[in-house]
C-alpha cells in the first residue's frame, strides 16, 4: 500500500511558499508523500522544497494581471486547471489537500472540493486572503497563522501559527547579543520583492545615527534590483559597511546575528522574528489587502517585541530616533528580543501536520 499523499496547493510568493515548504518537510518526515500544485510562476519559488516533493504545474490565472483578452481567458484557464488537477487526483488520490492561498491554489482546491477529498486551508495573515476567503466555508479546517484572524461565521478554525523553514528552526531561540560598543548587525528586509520605501528612508535614517552607533553598524539591506546600486552607493558614500542584494538566501543566519531587524510585517517575517527572537521595527505594507500586515504585527507590537511604524508615518528623523533608542539600550533591546521569542510557535509545522493527519483519519 502506498504511503498517504498530501497535495499542497500554494501561490508564487514567499508568504505562501515558506509555510508550505515547512509543512512539506514535516510531512515527509512523518512518512507521507507530498506533491506541490502550483502554476509556472509558483514553480519558480519552489527551489527550497525538498527534492522528494513532486512539483506539479497546473494552469491558473488572475483577473489582477494582463489586458482585456487575458482577463477574458481567466475562467477558461482556471477551468482547464481544475480539470487537470481532478484527473491527477483520480489517478493518485490524495488523503488531504492543503491550500496556502494565492490564485495558483485555486485548481487543486476546487478539484478537491469536487471530489470530496478532505481539505484544509492555512491562512498566514490576520485577514483572510481572497482565495482562502472563497474556500473557507468549504474545508474541514481553517488553520490560522496569526491569531486572532478575522473569519467568516461557520468556519472551523484552529490556531497553528505560521510554520517556519528548517533553516529558521535550526536557529530557534539563538542567544541574543545585546547592542554595545562593538560591531552590530542591522538586517533590512522587505518581503520577497524588497520594498522601495525602505530603500528610500532606511539608509539616510541610519546615516543620521549618532557617531558612536553609526561607526559600529553593519547593514544587510534587501533592495529591489533596480534600487540596489543606488542604495549600495549611498551606504558607501556615508562610509557605512553594508551588503545590498535583491535577495538574501541566508536570512536565517543574518537574522540570528542581528541586533535589530527593520522589516515589512509579512506573516513569514513575523514568524521568523518570533521563533528566533529578535527586536524589530515593522513597517506594514500600506497597500496590503485589508491592511493585513498591520494585523500581522499586532501581537509582536503588543508584547513589546517590536515597534510598528505606519508607512504613512515613515520619515527619516523619527526612524533614526527609534533605531537610536533601541541600539542605545542593551537591556531594553534584550527585553524586546525576549518578548518576540515569547510570541513564537516553533512547533507550528507540527501543529499543522497534526491537523492534516486528523483530517486523513476522518476520511477513513
SS3 of 198-230: the string is HHHHHHHHHHCCCHHHHCCEEEEEECCHHHHHH
SS3 183: coil
Q: What is the chain's pLDDT, residue by residue, as a tens digit (364 residues)?
A: 679 999 999 987 777 888 999 999 999 999 999 999 998 877 887 888 999 999 998 877 565 556 666 666 677 788 888 999 999 999 999 999 999 998 899 999 999 999 999 999 999 999 999 899 999 999 999 999 998 888 888 888 999 999 998 899 999 999 999 999 999 999 999 865 568 999 999 999 999 999 999 999 999 999 999 999 999 999 999 999 999 999 898 999 999 999 999 999 999 999 999 999 999 999 999 888 889 999 999 999 999 999 999 999 999 999 999 999 999 999 999 999 999 999 999 999 999 999 999 999 985 4
Which DSSP letter does residue 127 get? B
- Across the beta sheet with 96-99, what order do the strands follow? 54-57, 33-38, 5-9, 96-99, 119-123, 141-144, 157-159
Which pTM was predicted?
0.88
Q: Residue 95: CB partners within 8 Å, gap ≥ 6?
A: 4, 5, 6, 32, 117, 118, 359, 360, 363
Residue 339 backbone phi and psi in degrees, to 5: -65, -40
Rounded to an integer, what distance in angstroms lies between the CA atom of residue 172 and that of residue 162?
Answer: 14
Q: Residue 75: CB partners within 8 Å, gap ≥ 6?
A: none
Amino acid at each position: 500500500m502506498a504511503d498517504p499523499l498530501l497535495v499542497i496547493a500554494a501561490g508564487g510568493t514567499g508568504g505562501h511558499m515558506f509555510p508550505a515548504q515547512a509543512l512539506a518537510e514535516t510531512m515527509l518526515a512523518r512518512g507521507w508523500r507530498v506533491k506541490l500544485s502550483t502554476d509556472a510562476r509558483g514553480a519558480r519559488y519552489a527551489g527550497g522544497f525538498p527534492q522528494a516533493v513532486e512539483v506539479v504545474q497546473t494552469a491558473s490565472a488572475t483577473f489582477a494581471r494582463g489586458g482585456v483578452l487575458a482577463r477574458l481567458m481567466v475562467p477558461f484557464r482556471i477551468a482547464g486547471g481544475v480539470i487537470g488537477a481532478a484527473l491527477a487526483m483520480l489517478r493518485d488520490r490524495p488523503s488531504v489537500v492543503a491550500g496556502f492561498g494565492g490564485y495558483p491554489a485555486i485548481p487543486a482546491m476546487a478539484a478537491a472540493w469536487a471530489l470530496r477529498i478532505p481539505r484544509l486551508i492555512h491562512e498566514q495573515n490576520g485577514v483572510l486572503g481572497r482565495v482562502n476567503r472563497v474556500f473557507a466555508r468549504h474545508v474541514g479546517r481553517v488553520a490560522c497563522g496569526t491569531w486572532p484572524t478575522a473569519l467568516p461565521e461557520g468556519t472551523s478554525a484552529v490556531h497553528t501559527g505560521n510554520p517556519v523553514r528548517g533553516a529558521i528552526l535550526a536557529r530557534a531561540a539563538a542567544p541574543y547579543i545585546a547592542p554595545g560598543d562593538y560591531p552590530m548587525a542591522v538586517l533590512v528586509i522587505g518581503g520577497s520583492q524588497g520594498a522601495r520605501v525602505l530603500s528610500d528612508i532606511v539608509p539616510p535614517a541610519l546615516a543620521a545615527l549618532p557617531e558612536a552607533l553609526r561607526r559600529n553598524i553593519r547593514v544587510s539591506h534587501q533592495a529591489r534590483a533596480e534600487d540596489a546600486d543606488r542604495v549600495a552607493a549611498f551606504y558607501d558614500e556615508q562610509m557605512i559597511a553594508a551588503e545590498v542584494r535583491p535577495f538574501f538566501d541566508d536570512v536565517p543566519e543574518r537574522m540570528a546575528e542581528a541586533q535589530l531587524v527593520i522589516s515589512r510585517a509579512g506573516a513569514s517575517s513575523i514568524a521568523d522574528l518570533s521563533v528566533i527572537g529578535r527586536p524589530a521595527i515593522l513597517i506594514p505594507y500600506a497597500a496590503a489587502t485589508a491592511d493585513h500586515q498591520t494585523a500581522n504585527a499586532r501581537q509582536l507590537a503588543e508584547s513589546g517585541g517590536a515597534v510598528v511604524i505606519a508607512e504613512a508615518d515613515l520619515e527619516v528623523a523619527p526612524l533614526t530616533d527609534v533605531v537610536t533608542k533601541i541600539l542605545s539600550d542593551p537591556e531594553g533591546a534584550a527585553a524586546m528580543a525576549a518578548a518576540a521569542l515569547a510570541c513564537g510557535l516553533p512547533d507550528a509545522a507540527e501543529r499543522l501536520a497534526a491537523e492534516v493527519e486528523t483530517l486523513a483519519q476522518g476520511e477513513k
